[in-house]
Amino acid sequence: MPILSSIIAVLEVFIYGIIFYSVVTHFSGKKLKAKLLGWSIIIQLSAIIYMLTRLKPAQILARTQSHLELLVVGHALLSILVFFWLVILFFKARNFAVVGRNYLQENKKSTYLFLVFLSLSLLSGELIFFLVY
């Protein structure tokens, strides 16, 4: 088991917790924690880049266990989707906050959907980690 993969798995839970906390607190009407969310985006990008370097070994391992292959590819696509959605959400929320509006409250359905996809991304990644290692 690569030690860096273990560190990233723990870091992912922490990062996703920060993202979830930042989105939920702003959604509930509190001030947007732009710096906290911004830093978590940068750290998440670093984690995704590392995960992409681990994608090929995971796919090779998944081929020996066919049920994992779809999970690995699905998680990779979901993580990238969630990351870009987060970046867009961050900039929209920040721009709305500058003029005294709350983007997350004004777009409740998309906020809930984002939180669902964020949770699925985290859970699928941790599931892969526990199945592979």
Q: Are 71 and 128 in contact (CB under 8 A)?
A: yes
104 pLDDT higher than 80: yes
- What local confidence, expressed as pLDDT, does residue 86 receive? 96
- What local confidence, expressed as pLDDT, does residue 122 receive? 92
Residue indicated by tokens 């979901």: 78
7 pLDDT higher than 80: yes
Return the percentage of the chain with pLDDT > 70, whole number: 90
67 pLDDT higher than 80: no
> What's the pLDDT band for 5 if we cut at 50, 70, 90?
confident
What are the boundaries of each domain within the chain? Answer: 3-132
Q: Are 117 and 85 in contact (CB under 8 A)?
A: yes
What are 62's two structure tokens? 């998944």
pLDDT, tens digit (0-9, with 9 covering 90-100), for 80-97: 999 999 999 999 999 999
Please give the C-alpha separations between residue 126 and each of 9, 33, 38, 65, 104, in angstroms, as whole numbers: 7, 26, 23, 17, 27
